[in-house]
Amino acid sequence: MLLLREVDKPKSLGEKISEYLARPPQPILKFYGDFSTELANGKKYLLFAVRNGLPLPLVYGIYIKASYDSLTDYIEKTDHIGPFSTDNWRLTLDTTAPAVIEIRVGLVPFEIMTDRTKIAI
């Protein structure tokens, strides 16, 4: 079983402006920063961020395929992101075994994929 949740709090306008000025704009909906992992309570956690480089809010979807222990799990989540914002996410896996995770992000409702990554943890 996979669990995906957003882990950051809403940002004020001042925080969004300072975040934008600290980092150059990026194209529409790309993964931002490094992917990091945590191990606790017999579960693996994958931490990642999605960044909107446009001056308008967007509705996007995250699509995840996780393969481990000869099983494959799928999960998808839809959320909105503000202009020039970054959303932080945490993916929880119910296993500590090695896994291959494929994460895609795209615009909703058009299902236009804007970024994709494959990670072995």
pLDDT, one tens digit per residue, over 6-40 is 777 777 778 777 776 776 666 678 888 888 888 88
Per-residue confidence (pLDDT) for residue 105, from 0 to 100: 92
What distance in Å separates the CA atoms of residue 47 and residue 118, rounded to the nearest whole number?
14
Q: Is 59 a residue whose pLDDT tops 70?
A: yes
24-28, 39-43, 58-62 — which is least confidently predicted? 24-28
Residue 107 CB partners (closer than 8 Å, separation 6+): 28, 29, 58, 59, 60, 61, 114
pLDDT for the residue 63: 93
The rounded Cα 6 to chain-centroid distance in angstroms is 8
Residue with more model confidence, 7 or 92: 92
Structural domains of the chain, ranges and CATH numbers in brackets: 2-120 (2.60.40.10)
